[in-house]
Structure formats: structure tokens, C-alpha cells
Structure 1
Amino acid sequence: MSGLLFLIAGGLLEPVWVIAMTKAGGNTDRRAFWYIVFLSAMFMSLMFMSRGMKTMSVGISYAIWTAVGALSTIVAGRILYHEGISWKKVAAVTLILIGISGLEAAG
């Protein structure tokens, strides 16, 4: 698995731990379950980022991991919580992805 795939996998785990963290903080009888999901997904996300950094520079790796995490969290928020996605959000995420592609091409 290449470094880029590790970074994408780690970024895709970000909404998992973010959502689990919000559920664990809520008043629920399944709080322990959500803490386990939160800690497991967070650990795996950081582990995948660490593996991705072995083949790419730290700055590029972090930028890719963060962008994938932000994008997947926006999508998860839209699907699970029916949050709105404005054209400004789409434009901002597009600029992030263009910037990362430029960094990768220049590196």
C-alpha cells in the first residue's frame, strides 16, 4: 500500500472518531462503546498517517490527511445530520484539493 493510500485511509477515519467523540460526550447508555470506537478510530487514523509519512514529506502528508479528513467529515455531516453544503464550502474544499495537488506536483 503506497503512502498516499495510507493517508487517504487515515483521513477517511477522521469523521468516524469525530462522530464517535460527539456520541461519547452525550447522555447515552452506550457511552463506553462510543469511547472505544472514538479511541480506536483516532489511533488507526494517526497510525495510517504515520505510515504515509514514511514515503512522503511531513508537510505534504499532513496536508493530504487533513484535506481528506475535512472533506469526508463534511460529507458525513451532510449524510448523517443533513447539514447544508453551500457553494462556498465546495469552493473552499476544491481550493484545498488544488493546493495539495500543486504541492504534490512541485515536490
Structure 2
Amino acid sequence: MAWFSLILAGAFEMVGVAMINQFHVKRSVLSLVLLLLGFGASFVFLSIAMKDISMGTAYAVWTGIGACGSAFVGMIWYGESREWRRILFIGMIIAAVIGLKLIGE
């Protein structure tokens, strides 16, 4: 359950980051509300996950999911660079997150 909460926390962080970008593009109340809800939910699920997962591992995985997911959102919806080196290094972050899960924290 803790790992599921951590994945949800990372997913909501992606929503928050995407809404920061959306808020800069079009300042609307909806994007601001979604930004606040995204980050709020992210912190709630992160705190739930940290009851069973160590702080360092939880934080590393949370930021990794948020960073990689936000980079992919940027590529898909905002036309950001899809250069192979960028994707390679994002893949390395994903591999590190998987590694942290596999070592059993």
C-alpha cells in the first residue's frame, strides 16, 4: 500500500507541475485550483507512503516520478524536446527508481 501511495504522490506531483506550466500559459482559476489540488494530494500521499518507506527512498522515488512524468508531459502536450539524450537520462532516472524498489526499502 505504501508503494501505491508513493506512485499516486508522484502522479499528483506531475499534475501540479503541469498546471504550473498551464497557469503560466493561461492564467485561469481552474489551472490554479488544479495546481493546488495536485500538489496538496501529492503531499498527502507522500506522507502516507513515508509511514512505511524511509524518507530518503520515498523522497527520491517521489521526485523521480514527478521529474520523469513532467518531462514526458512536456514532450507530449507542450512540444518540448524529444532528443534521444534527454530520453536516455530520463530512462536512467526511471532505472534508479526501479532499483530503489528492488532493494526492498
Query: What is the TM-score normalised by the length of structure 1?
Result: 0.82
Identity of aligned residues (%): 27
> Contact 2:19–2:31 (CA<8 Å) still a contact in 1?
yes
What is the match of residue 33 of structure 2? 36
Task: Name which of structure 1's ranges 56-65 and 5-14 shifts more when overlaid on structure 2.
Answer: 5-14
Structure 1 stretches of 4+ with a deviation exceeding 4 A read none
What is the match of residue 85 of structure 2? 88
RMSD between aligned alpha carbons?
Answer: 1.9
Query: What is the TM-score normalised by the length of structure 2?
Result: 0.84
- Give unmatched runs, 5+ long, in structure 2: none
| Whole-Å separation in 1 of the counterparts to 2:52 and 2:73 | 29
- Give unmatched runs, 5+ long, in structure 1: none
Correspondent of 1:68 among 51, 65, 68: 65
What is the match of residue 78 of structure 1? 75
Correspondent of 1:99 among 92, 96, 101: 96
Counting matched residue pairs gives 104
For residue 77 of structure 1, what is the amino acid of its counterpart?
G
